[in-house]
Amino acid sequence: MFRGFYTATSGMIAQQRRQDMLTNNLSNVNTPGFKADRSALRSFSNMLLSRMGETNVGNREIPTNKRVGSLATGVYMQEALPNFRQGDLRETGNSLDIALLQGTVPVNEETGAAGALFFTVENEAGDLRLTRNGNFTVDANGSLVTSNGDFVLDSAGNRITIESNNFTLDPNGVIAGSGTQIGISLIENPNDLEKEGNGLFSLENQEDIIAANGNENVSYQLKQGFVERSNVNVEQTMVQMTSAYRTFEANQKVVQAYDRTMEKAANEVGRLR
């Protein structure tokens, strides 16, 4: 009896986590450069059931073990992985807004998936981070920073300083007058990245961060006065949220049915007379 109870409960937990993920995607639909999370439901290993009994052979009772079949033991939601599909570009007219338009990137031989390009930034602690949010600004010292204060790095790994907000940028990311080129990084297996919030990604092995500037296997374009929009599909996300809610509700009714059955078994069937 309890096997089905636990199976339905695991389904509720999985759908709740999926709903939380989809809600987070929807809440960031207007966040520049945001990459929507996606996941898949997987089942636990099936349990093989057998029925034990006895068979009379002559005057002897011989134990038997008859296979009944397999039983699913529940589902779980795998880790949420970002979808690095290119988002649409939105024109802002602000010279500090820079959109990264990804072109050709190498395909990972192990996963068969394409790599991804990112702006390279540095936090106050000096740690490298990656982002697709090109909604930049300038701090009090003239450094080009992200909206949450991380320093934008050039192709040599140095912090970028600009003299005026009215600078111009060519498609390769070279700032006119200074010759400084905005640093772009290639991640061959973007599924290794971890989300940190505020549009930032981190990579445990920073040796896997490859410079894309001047890389003949990579093509990209920087567009000044534009930002990359979130790649969240609002209509599809709403449909998925409705599906997750209805599946949660169906599992909930199964749990309630088991609860009523156990209550009857405890209070009526098991009553001593």
Domain count, the chain: 2
Give a yes or no: residue 18 inside a domain: yes
Give a yes or no: residue 35 inside a domain: no
Strand runs labelled E in the chain: 37-38, 41-43, 47-57, 60-71, 75-77, 81-82, 89-91, 98-102, 116-122, 128-131, 137-138, 144-145, 151-152, 184-187, 194-197, 200-202, 210-211, 220-224, 226-228
Q: Is there a single domain that holds both residue 182 and residue 264?
A: no
pLDDT tops 90 at residue 9: no
pLDDT value at residue 267: 72
Q: What is the number of alpha carbons within 13 Å of residue 9 lying toward its C-beta?
A: 8
Q: Is there a single domain that holds both residue 169 and residue 192?
A: yes
Give a yes or no: residue 72 inside a domain: yes
Interval 110-130 mean pLDDT: 90
Give a yes or no: residue 199 inside a domain: yes
pLDDT tops 70 at residue 269: no
Q: How far lies 153's CA from each of 156, 174, 186, 190, 263, in Å?
A: 8, 12, 14, 20, 64
pLDDT value at residue 187: 92
* pLDDT tens string 158-194: 999 988 888 899 999 999 888 899 999 999 988 889 9
Q: Is there a single domain that holds both residue 129 and residue 64?
A: no
CA distance 38 to 26: 12
Q: Is there a single domain that holds both residue 213 and residue 239?
A: no
Interval 202-216 mean pLDDT: 88
Give a yes or no: residue 36 inside a domain: no
Which residue range forms the structural domain that includes residue 138?
84-228
pLDDT value at residue 1: 53
Q: Is there a single domain that holds both residue 144 and residue 203?
A: yes
Q: Is there a single domain that holds both residue 93 and residue 176?
A: yes
Q: Is there a single domain that holds both residue 211 and residue 121?
A: yes
pLDDT value at residue 200: 93
Task: Name the phi and psi angles at 98, rounded to 5.
Answer: -130, 125
Percentage with pLDDT > 90 across the chain: 49
Q: Is there a single domain that holds both residue 88 and residue 219?
A: yes
Give a yes or no: residue 188 inside a domain: yes
Give a yes or no: residue 34 inside a domain: no
Task: Give the β-pairing of 151-152 and 116-122.
Answer: antiparallel
pLDDT value at residue 153: 95
pTM, entire model: 0.79
pLDDT value at residue 186: 94
Within 10 angstroms of residue 4's Cβ, the number of other Cβ atoms is: 16
Q: Is there a single domain that holds both residue 102 and residue 212?
A: yes
pLDDT value at residue 107: 86
* pLDDT tens string 12-61: 899 999 999 999 999 999 999 999 999 887 777 666 667 777 677 667 77
Q: What is the mean pLDDT of the chain?
A: 87
87: pLDDT confidence band, cut at 50, 70 and 90? very high
* pLDDT tens string 211-241: 998 888 899 999 999 999 999 999 999 999 9
